[in-house]
Amino acid sequence: MTNSEILAVSKILLESRAFTKTEMSQILDKLIAGCVPSKNMKLVTDLLANEEFHYIETSHPAGLQEKLWEIGEDIQLRRLMKLSYTKQGDKPAPVTRIVEPVSILFSEYYFYLLAYIVAQQADGGYTHKYDYPAVFRVDRIDSYTLMEERFSLPYANRFQEGEFRKRVQFMYPGRLEKIRFRYTGESVDAILDRLPTAKLLSQTAHSFELEAEVYGKGIIMWLLSQGERVEVLSPGHIRAEMRNTILNMLELYR
């Protein structure tokens, strides 16, 4: 890797806040020691020093890297997994799920396991409870064990991380649907970058009409962040949910 590549990758790592401060320092030291010529080590280290010093870690527990590797290996075995998972909420309590693990993704500071929740049938077999994968934050997986049962993964139906990532916002799962909205901000490029499946349908001097294919309710959170620059046109239930959320927000400021 070149000096500029090492610097760019290191900056991205620091921005991700993906590891504890100790782990991040160890990773950066290994990158610099293994890839940067000795004559440039001090320069690269100095360019990163201030940001590394002020690095604020999230709630990732130490040793998360080992858990990621173990789960990654387990995914390749295609065996059902029984996991204990602590959900978010005012009174967090662990739940038990049997899942088909299919992928690990990183998004918005955290690592996630994507897995299909399954239910046991009368004949002893298992079937998907939903036609889309559930999302489990890896650091909230308290424990897991592999089961003897295996699951098949036909090539034609294999899970594709890249396609899923293009359609999900903030790792909120849900069914796949198309959403149409009007955007009146200054840069439509920012919308197209944020929503890779978005297509520009029409535009006027002051607005753009777009359509995007998305999973789950994370899109609502993102649309709300755009304020009055966005109006959802369809489907009706998302437009209604946007309206109800905005009215509830308004009540807070009366």
Tens digits of residue pLDDT in 11-36: 999 999 999 999 999 999 999 998 88
Global pTM?
0.82
Omega before residue 61 within 30° of 0, cis: no
Four-residue CA torsion sign, 126, 218, 84, 78 = positive
CB neighbours of residue 218 within 10 Å: 20
CB-neighbour burial class of residue 247 (10 A; exposed 0-12, middle 13-18, buried 19+) = exposed
Quick one: pLDDT at residue 38? Answer: 86
Residue 157 has pLDDT above 60, yes or no: no
Specify the CATH number for 64-159; select among 2.60.40, 2.30.30, 1.10.3470, 1.25.40. 2.30.30
Architecture of the domain spanning 164-251: 2-Layer Sandwich (3.30)
Residue 234 has pLDDT above 80, yes or no: yes
Tokens of 60: 């990732």
Tokens of 32: 């610099």
- Where residue 214 falls among pLDDT bands split at 50, 70, 90? very high
14-15-21 Cα angle (round to 5):
40
The percentage of residues in the chain with a pLDDT greater than 90, rounded to a whole number, is 58
Quick one: pLDDT at residue 173? Answer: 79
Name residues whose C-beta falls within 8 Å of residue 121's C-beta, 6 or more positions apart in sequence: 127
202 and 209 in contact (C-beta within 8 Å)?
yes
Mean pLDDT to the nearest integer, 88-116: 88
- Where residue 183 falls among pLDDT bands split at 50, 70, 90? very high
Q: What does DSSP assign to residue 236?
A: H
- Where residue 156 falls among pLDDT bands split at 50, 70, 90? very low
Mean pLDDT to the nearest integer, 95-100: 94
Quick one: pLDDT at residue 163? Answer: 84
Quick one: pLDDT at residue 90? Answer: 63
Quick one: pLDDT at residue 93? Answer: 81
The percentage of residues in the chain with a pLDDT greater than 70, rounded to a whole number, is 97
- Where residue 228 falls among pLDDT bands split at 50, 70, 90? very high
Judged by average pLDDT, the poorest of 166-170, 181-185, 192-196, 205-209 is 166-170
Mean pLDDT to the nearest integer, 37-55: 90
Domain edges within the chain: 3-53, 64-159, 164-251
